[in-house]
Amino acid sequence: MMSIKEHPPQSEEPQTGEPIHVPVLLEITLSKLRPVEGESYLDLTAGYGGHARAFLERTDNYLDSVLVDRDENAIKTLGDLAEKGVTLIHKDFVSAAQDLVKQGRKFDVILADLGVSSPQLDRAERGFSFRFDGQLDMRMDNRTEITAADIVNSYSVDELTRLVTRYGEENLGRARRIAQAIVGARPIQGTTELADLIKQTVGRGSMKHHPATRTFQALRIEVNHELRLIEELLPLLPRLLNKGGRVGIISFHSLEDRLIKRYFSEQATAGYEAELIVREKKPVSGTEDVHNPRSRSAKFRYAVKK
Q: How many angstroms separate the Cα of 117 from the Cα of each of 84, 221, 287?
A: 24, 15, 18
Q: For 81-93, how does the pLDDT look when each residue is reduced to its tens digit (9 = 90+)?
A: 999 999 999 999 9
Reported as half-sphere exposure (CB side, CA atoms, 13 A), residue 84 has a value of 17
DSSP alpha helix (H) spans, the chain: 26-33, 50-59, 72-76, 79-83, 93-102, 118-121, 148-154, 157-168, 172-185, 191-202, 213-224, 226-233, 254-268
Express each pLDDT in 177-202 by its tens digit. Answer: 999 999 999 999 999 999 999 999 99
- The confidence band for 132, taking pLDDT boundaries of 50, 70 and 90, is confident
pLDDT of residue 3: 42
Sign of the CA dihedral 115, 119, 122, 123? negative
How much is the pLDDT for 293?
Answer: 60
Q: Is 291 left (phi over 0), alpha (psi -120 to 50) or beta?
A: alpha
Please say whether the beta carbons of 137 and 148 come within 8 A: yes
* Contact predicate 14/38, CB 8 Å: no
* Least confident stretch, 113-117, 161-165, 234-238: 113-117
Q: What average pLDDT does range 67-73 have in this prediction?
A: 93
Spatial distance between the Cα atoms of 180 and 228, rounded to a whole number of angstroms: 27
Instruction: Show the CA angle centred on residue 97, arms to residues 37 and 67, nearest 5°.
Output: 45
Q: How confident is the model at residue 163 (pLDDT cuts 50, 70, 90)?
A: very high
Provide the pairing of β-strand 87-89 with 276-277: unpaired
Q: Would you list which residues are annotated within the binding site?
A: 49-51, 69, 93, 113, 120
pLDDT of residue 183: 98
- Does 187 sit behind a cis peptide bond, omega within 30 degrees of 0 on the bond before it? yes
Would you say 306 and 275 are in contact if contact means Cβ atoms under 8 Å apart? Answer: yes
**Residue 215 φ then ψ, to 5°:** -65, -40
Helix (H, G, I), strand (E, B) or coil at 116: coil
Bridge pairing between strands 299-305 and 241-251: antiparallel
First to last CA, the chain: 34
Between the alpha carbon of residue 291 and those of residues 22, 32, 45, 163, 276, the distances in Å are 9, 17, 21, 35, 30
Q: How far apart are CA 131 and CA 122, in angstroms?
A: 8
pTM: 0.88
Domain annotation for the chain: domains and CATH numbers? 26-118+227-305 (3.40.50.150), 119-223 (1.10.150.170)
Annotated binding site for S-adenosyl-L-methionine: 49-51, 69, 93, 113, 120
Count of residues making up the chain: 306
